[in-house]
Every structure is written in C-alpha cells, then in structure tokens.
Amino acid sequence: MSAATSTAIAVNPNESFAALFAESLERQEMRAGEVITAEVVRVDQNFVVVNAGLKSESFISAEEFKNDRGELEVAPGDFVQVAIEMLEDGYGETRLSRDKAKRIAAWNDLDKALTDQAL
C-alpha cells in the first residue's frame, strides 16, 4: 500500500491572480535599451548584484559603479537606474548595464533641452 502525500502551498491573501498576471505582462513588454530601476543586493570587488524584479538577479561589473576617483558609489539597498542589454542571454540571465543607463539619461536630457530650446 502506498501512503498518500499532500503538499501544502503557501498562498498570500494579498496577491490576486489578476495582479500577478498583469505584473507578468509588464515584464514581457520590457525590451533591450529600456531603462529600469533595480535594487543593489550585494557588492563585491568585481561585481554589483542587482534585483530588477526580473527572472533572476543580474551581475554588473563593479567598474560601472565607480566614480572618477575609482570609489564604488553604491551599497546594498540602494536603487539605481540600469539599461536592459538583453532579456535572455542564452544562459537564463538578464544582462543589465549601468553605463548604458547613464548614456541614455544624458541623451534624453540633451534631447529635452533641445526640444525646450534651452541650448
């Protein structure tokens, strides 16, 4: 005779299927070149690990977070703007870039100034 086993599934009463589905659709609409906000999870000598609410955490070179003096400008818990380089790199990871996000922001600022005739 085999014993029946049951598996308990934890359900969060504050989450609805509709809200989770809508969130998953928002993630699917993201594409390369888009700038998103990510939370710094961990900082080590070579990499900064960020969580952007995607499939997995992303590793970004620590060099992208250093100032002109070579000092890291982020700490765990900080929120930073990063650009999506690739949603799926073939290894199940999302590639993000802080440098590209800075360049996109600078370009947008320049474009806005030109549009507003501030230059």
Angle, CA of 31, 32 and 35, to the nearest 5°: 85
Structural domains of the chain sorted by starting position, each given as residue range(s) with its CATH number in brackets: 31-115 (2.40.50.140)
Give the chain's count of helices (H) and strands (E).
2, 5
Q: What is the pLDDT of residues 41-59, one digit of tens each?
A: 999 999 999 999 887 889 9
Q: What is the pLDDT of residues 12-33, one digit of tens each?
A: 666 677 776 666 555 556 778 8
pLDDT at 99: 92
Q: Which pTM was predicted?
A: 0.67
